[in-house]
Chains A and B, each alone.
Chain A
């Protein structure tokens, strides 16, 4: 029962575009152009029953069927490679000091009611986010100083400070809505937008609480796409239900965590049933650095040394999630950023002896109860938080607790409700917790959300994402060095410095690489992204990436 929250929360991130040269996105191989038609049945992560909410700005709408499918972004960014492709904007240019960006929009795009798409729509959308900060999930207006439209197909955005990484939010994650419709909407924060009207490859077909469909937009601006007639989304409330559908071959495309897919899915039809789980983020053990003993580096190192990551990977995650790199880079996706000095730095096997010697060197002694205590007698005794319904993580935390108890610490598993868990994390009222990181198309996004002091807060106040409360000027300098320069080499240096901080100071303890769950069947449709053709992040709950997949698949 891995809750949808995990995706929803983990999808927050950002992107940067290094070059002005835009690469085209991959196209399905072997399409002879005659493979039109068919309805694709899709099960993203568990959600349902549906409510008719297609508001692209609300966190609880049917975003899977809205974002990218109906409403589109200025650019399309491949999360796996970090490459940006033209979309509603055909080109864009940064100024020299990364304080202003100009987008040139396509002139052949129409809303599905045949109205022309123009720069006025883009300005309107951005101003909407300004007017209603609750909708501005990407925090665009923290950085934007002003926006303007010199003509019907040009948009200029100016920033208060150099802001290279904001491009991903601005162009890759901001969905443009039609001004002529939305200007009449009274309150966009509570609007459910039951009849969405966008520029995208699909429009809403039929809707009820158990299943809804998206129909092909016959006049889509990318001629000849999409190939399929419709997308069908059945509702289901637990992974087990999706697994049943998967095993019977009723699904074409899904994004669920499922145990033992090889047996329940692939073996039932080895020719057609496939899965591919590209790593997307790093699952961390967060230690509350605002309190003893976790503010002691030796304790963090001892905890890290005692953890059996191999067991986490094979037993808790059934081998789907490889052991993480100590640098917290997502490998192999971020391989090009890996500092050569860390090329062979890997976490070893669980080593209780090493944990013990690290602790003893730092002045800890083992008591008669077998638990280490510091010089003043404070025992190494703490709780480890996890959400009670996220069963794979519950298992992971149980394994870690067993490891650490064997290494002379007293750790108890604290399985709590999601609300309680997230409140403890953000307010800093926890000892330790397993949690995700927020990745983006480059490593900067993960580091920035994990380590930037602007993302943390004193204990008792809500932190955005830096839950462990790492606050360090050297780290902040490296992050702004990256954000302030479009120069790839300067950025690379900054990322190398951040790797060093991760490896040597362990602000959080990397455990395993969070996977992008993705299962697909080639029985009815082909042209799916796979390991050899990574043209988009493949999960149906990744938006707007899923729209790229939906446009490229076609009848087998």
Chain B
């Protein structure tokens, strides 16, 4: 799991306010009238193949999730007597020990994985936008407290915390898992946005807005936020990636509802059913590949956004 590097100095809880505009900060982007989003859209159609590739992969899985019933003709939950069959024309990816169709499970499983991933991503990102912008804009004691909070959540290992929290939930299922992942997954985005807001706050257009008597709320969310859209997108993507991988991990441990059809549960049942010793590779290989592919898609979008916000990363030939 990568952590995006912003070329910043380490986070220093006690005096973050001094830590502005270090080398390579994304603050290098000059604010203009056109928002970064506009540039993103124009650029996405132009050069960064990474974004395009990433979006194609994500789009593919989204389509699979939406049209699952049209793609998979079998009920993913239906048991049958055809146990542990290798891939064939009837079962494109073989069957499980209880005769369930792996392909159907994979197709339907895309839904849970994407819904949990994106829901957690969105909710956590909203949280991190609010917290990050408030901390960055107001500074002072508010910033001290909020920064400490996010740095603590960053440094406390997320997955073990999620496992303990999920362990406490007696009624297992995707919803408790999602809640646990929001709690453990908001801090990263908040920290990046705080740093960005800190440098935005010094800009002329913010000073102008303040002078013209705009409300604080409006300045933060209508003036500053649009200029940080790229970073918000990047942290959204990053959080989704975290959420998907952590969700799979929790499902694999049996901490979600094991009767739901999802990628993590496919792996849970495969390890439980000794897929490895039975050499039923078709039972556990495809799900892992799908996770890696979707994850790579998200990561590509992330790097693409990075390259837009930090022009030095762009693939130009070296002089």
Contacts and interface: CB of A to CB of B under 8 A. Distances in A.
| A–B touching in complex (CB under 8 Å) | yes
A96 B278 CA distance: 59
Contacts of B259: 394, 398, 413, 415
Contacts of A419: 170
B154 to A, nearest CB: 30
Interface stretch (B12-20, B46-54, B266-274): B266-274
Interface string B166-183: 000011100000000000
A389 B79 contact: no
B291 interface: no
B83 interface: yes
Contact of A264 (B172, B258, B269, B274): B274
Contact of A315 (B79, B269, B271, B274): B79
Given A243-B274, A259-B97, A416 B79 contact: no
Contact of B79 (A240, A258, A398, A413): A398
Contact of B269 (A260, A391, A402, A416): A391
Interface string B63-84: 0000000000000011101011
Interface string A307-343: 0000100111010000000000000000000000000
Interface string A372-414: 0000000000000000110100110011001000000000010
Interface in B242-299: 254, 257-259, 269, 271-274, 276-278
A420 interface: yes
A417 B172 CA distance: 7
B257 to A, nearest CB: 6
Given A394-B258, A395-B98, A398-B79, A416 B171 contact: yes
B99 interface: yes
A99 to B, nearest CB: 46
A263 interface: yes
A264 B278 contact: yes
Q: Which label, helix, strand, loop or mixed, suits the secondary structure of the B interface?
A: loop
Given A247-B277, A264-B274, A416-B172, A318 B97 contact: yes
Q: Name, among B84, B254, B257, the residue most crowded by chain A CB atoms within 10 Å (CB to CB).
A: B254
A398 B77 contact: yes
Interface residues of B, number: 24
Contacts of B271: 240
A388 B257 contact: yes
Given A391-B258, A415-B258, A402 B78 contact: yes
Given A260-B84, A413-B259, A388 B254 contact: yes
A21 to B, nearest CB: 46
Q: Size band of the A side of the interface?
A: 20 to 34
Contacts of A388: 172, 254, 257-258
A244 interface: yes
Interface in B157-196: 170-172
A428 B277 CA distance: 40
B99 to A, nearest CB: 7
Nearest to A247: B277
B277 A264 contact: yes
Contacts of B257: 388, 415
Interface string B102-117: 0000000000000000
A395 B269 CA distance: 10
A1 interface: yes
A260 B170 contact: no
Nearest to B173: A415
Nearest to B269: A391
B272 to A, nearest CB: 5
A1 B257 CA distance: 15
Contacts of B277: 243-244, 247, 263-264
Nearest to B271: A240
Interface string A231-268: 00000000110011001000000000011100110000
B79 A311 contact: yes
A391 B273 contact: yes
Given A388-B172, A395-B98, A259 B81 contact: no
Contacts of B276: 240, 244
Contacts of A318: 97
A87 B269 CA distance: 45
Nearest to A246: B277
Closest 5 CB pairs of A and B: A420-B170, A264-B277, A391-B272, A413-B259, A417-B170
Interface of B: 77-79, 81, 83-84, 97-99, 170-172, 254, 257-259, 269, 271-274, 276-278
14 contacts: A240-B271, A244-B276, A260-B97, A315-B99, A316-B98, A318-B97, A389-B258, A391-B269, A395-B79, A402-B78, A402-B79, A415-B257, A415-B259, A416-B170
Given A398-B79, A420-B170, 10 more contacts: A1-B254, A259-B272, A259-B274, A260-B278, A388-B172, A388-B257, A389-B254, A394-B258, A415-B257, A415-B258
